[in-house]
Amino acid sequence: MQLRVGFEMVYQCPQPTPMMLTLSIHYSRASDLVRPDRLVTSPSVPVTAYRDLFGNWCTRIVAPAGRFVLNTDALINDSGAADLVAPWATQTPVENLPESTLVYLLGSRYCETDQLSEIAWQRFGSGPIGWGRVQAICDFVHQHIKFGYQNASRTRTALGGYNEGQGVCRDYAHLAIALCRCLNIPARYCTGYLGDVGTQPPYAPGDFAAWSEAYLGDCWYTFDARNNTQRIGRVLIARGRDACDVALSRESFKVWTDEGGSLNFGSQLRPKAQQ
Residue of higher predicted confidence among 216 and 264:
216
Mean pLDDT calculated for residue range 100-115: 97
- Could you tell me if 25 and 122 lie in one domain? no
- Could you tell me if 118 and 10 lie in one domain? no
Q: What is the pLDDT of residues 77-93, one digit of tens each?
A: 999 999 999 999 999 99
What are the two backbone dihedrals, phi and then psi, of residue 199, each rounded to the nearest 5 degrees?
A: -110, 170
- Could you tell me if 56 and 172 lie in one domain? no
Q: Over pLDDT 90: what percentage of the chain?
A: 84
The enclosing H or E element of 236 equals strand 235-240
Mean pLDDT calculated for residue range 3-11: 95
- Could you tell me if 104 and 216 lie in one domain? yes
- Look at residue 188 and tell me if it is in a domain: yes
Range of the domain at 255: 2-80+248-260
- Could you tell me if 239 and 253 lie in one domain? no
Q: What is the pLDDT of residues 128-185, one digit of tens each?
A: 999 999 999 999 999 999 999 898 999 999 999 999 999 999 999 999 999 999 999 9
- Could you tell me if 32 and 147 lie in one domain? no
Q: What is the pLDDT of residues 32-42, one digit of tens each?
A: 999 999 999 99
Could you give the number of structural domains in the chain? 2
Is the preceding peptide bond at 43 cis, omega within 30 degrees of 0?
yes
- Inter-CA distances, 55 with 52, 62, 214, Å: 5, 22, 18
Predicted confidence band of residue 241 (pLDDT cuts 50, 70, 90): very high
Contact 178, 188 (CB under 8 A): no
Kindly report the pTM of this predicted structure: 0.92
- Could you tell me if 68 and 174 lie in one domain? no
- Could you tell me if 72 and 153 lie in one domain? no
- Look at residue 210 and tell me if it is in a domain: yes
At residue 200, the pLDDT reads: 80
